[in-house]
Amino acid sequence: MQKTTRPKNPGENRKWFLVDAEGKSLGRLAVVVANKLRAKDLPTFDPSVDAGAFVIVVNAAKVRLTGKKEEQKIYQRYSGYRGGLKEFTAAEMRAAHPDRMIKEAVWGMLPKNNIARKMMTRVKVFAGAEHTHAAQKPETIEL
């Protein structure tokens, strides 16, 4: 009889990856980040086990949007109160919070559950080329 093995949670032994977003398409970048967070690139992938890696994204302000998305794509936030809906174009979002563009794109590609909320804490997005995680010696991912 064959036994099914389940991957263990790597704990402190998670890998670190660095992605440069400069000139990369937002959606294609978000797919790569989401797959690293879920560990879908590993042969031991199990959707119920959080075995993914940490992902550092630099140059978030220079991510590319195709077509007319810069003016036409709308981001919405709702405070929970009546009249509390706020809308921003992608250009306004890039000027104010370029890291949120990438975080929202990655969040949209993850399942909506407790594991995904934990995964989102492992995404580190920086608007510029500098990041604070050099001590972890991240591997660079080329897109």
pLDDT at residue 27, rounded to an integer: 96
pLDDT of residue 5: 81
Predicted local confidence at residue 10, as pLDDT:
86
Task: Print the domain residue range for 59.
Answer: 15-64+97-141
pLDDT at position 119, please?
A: 96
What is the structure's pLDDT at 12? Answer: 85
Query: Is the residue at 59 inside a domain?
Result: yes
Of 37, 43, 41, which is closest to residue 56 (Cα–Cα)? Answer: 37
CA separation for the pair 91, 72 (Å, rounded): 9
Reading the chain (143 residues) residue by residue, the pLDDT tens digits are 788 888 888 888 999 999 999 999 999 999 999 999 999 999 889 999 999 999 999 999 999 999 999 999 999 999 999 999 999 999 999 999 999 999 999 999 999 999 999 999 999 999 999 999 999 999 999 98
Q: Quick check: is 76 in a domain?
A: no
pLDDT score recorded for residue 7: 82
Let me know if residue 52 belongs to a domain: yes
> Within a domain: residue 91?
no
Cβ neighbours of residue 121 closer than 8 Å, sequence gap 6 or more? none
Asked whether residue 108 is assigned to any structural domain, the reply reads yes
Domain count, the chain: 1
The pLDDT of residue 97? 96
Residues in the chain: 143
Residue 23 Cα to chain centre, angstroms: 16
Would residue 80 count as lying in a domain? no
49, part of any domain = yes
Let me know if residue 88 belongs to a domain. no
- Residue 108's domain is classified under what CATH number? 3.90.1180.10
